[in-house]
Chain A
Amino acid sequence: DAGITQSPRHKVTETGTPVTLRCHQTENHRYMYWYRQDPGHGLRLIHYSYGVKDTDKGEVSDGYSVSRSKTEDFLLTLESATSSQTSVYFCAISDSTLAGVTGELFFGEGSRLTVL
C-alpha cells in the first residue's frame, strides 16, 4: 500500500472556523491532489500540486487554499468553513514519470469533515 496518511480522519467544526487537513506521503511522489467526495457528484478535484510550492486550482477550489512546503506534505485549508464544505476529503498522490502519461493515483483513507 502507498504510504499516505491523512489527518485528522474525522473532524466536527462550526461555521466560520478555520480548518486545516494534512496529507503526508512517504513515497516521494511528485504529484499530490485534494479531492472531495459528495453523494451524486463522485470525486471532484479541489487543488493539486506538481512540486514543492507549485500548486494549481481544480474544479471546485472556491473557499479552499493549499500549501506544499515539503515534498511529503500537502495541506488543505478552509479559511472560514461553511456547511457546504461538509464532505469527505481525499488526498491522492501519483508519480507520472513520463511527460503526458497519467500514472495511477493512490488515495489516502479520507478525512470526514462536518461543518455545523
Chain B
Amino acid sequence: AQKVTQAQTEISVVEKEDVTLDCVYETRDTTYYLFWYKQPPSGELVFLIRRNSFDEQNEISGRYSWNFQKSTSSFNFTITASQVVDSAVYFCALSEARQGGKLIFGQGTELSVKP
C-alpha cells in the first residue's frame, strides 16, 4: 500500500534560520511521482515541485531545495534563510504511475517562521 508520512506536525523557527521538512513514503511501484505543496494561511494549495522516481538529482530553486533519496524512501524539503512569508502548511504527496493522477498526501507540517 502507498503511504506518506510527515512526522513533524509543527515546526517553529526564527527568521533566517534554515529548516528541513521531512517526508517518508511507502510504495511498491518502481515508477512513481513525489510532490510538495504549500498551503499558506489564505488556504489555497500551491504546487512547489514534482519529482519522478528515476530522477534522484537534488533540486534547488532559490531558497528552496529538495533531497530525494530512494535508499531511505525520503523526499525532504529544506528552506534556507527562512522568512515570515514561508509560514504555511506544507504537504508531501505520492502518486504511483499506474494509479494515474491520484495523489496520496501526508498529514502536513505546519511551519511557523517568527520575526
Q: Which residues on A are within 8 Å of B, measured CB to CB? A: 31, 33, 35, 40-45, 48, 50, 58-59, 88, 90, 92, 94, 96, 100-107, 109-110
Decide: B101 and A42 in contact? CB cutoff 8 A: no
> A107-B44, A109-B44, A110-B43 are known contacts. Are A33 and B107 too (CB-CB below 8 A)?
no
Residue of A42, A48, A106, A109 near B106 (CB, 8 A) is: A42
Closest to B99 in A: A102
Residues of chain A with a CB closer than 8 A to B4's CB: 42
Residue of B31, B37, B43, B45 near A100 (CB, 8 A) is: B31
- Complex alpha-carbon distance, A102 and B29, angstroms: 14
Closest to A109 in B: B44
- Provide a sorted-by-A list of 10 A–B residue pairs whose CB atoms are within 8 angstroms: A33-B101, A40-B107, A42-B4, A44-B105, A90-B45, A101-B33, A103-B101, A104-B35, A104-B50, A105-B103
Q: Which residues on B are within 8 Å of A, measured CB to CB? A: 4, 6, 31, 33, 35, 37, 43-45, 47, 50, 91, 93, 95, 97-98, 100-108
In the assembled complex, how far is the CB of residue B104 from the closest CB belonging to chain A, in whole angstroms?
8
Decide: A105 and B43 in contact? CB cutoff 8 A: no
Residues of chain B with a CB closer than 8 A to A94's CB: 101
- Complex alpha-carbon distance, A48 and B106, angstroms: 19
Decide: B43 and A48 in contact? CB cutoff 8 A: no
- Complex alpha-carbon distance, A110 and B102, angstroms: 18
- Complex alpha-carbon distance, A31 and B99, angstroms: 13
Residue of B43, B50, B105 near A102 (CB, 8 A) is: B50
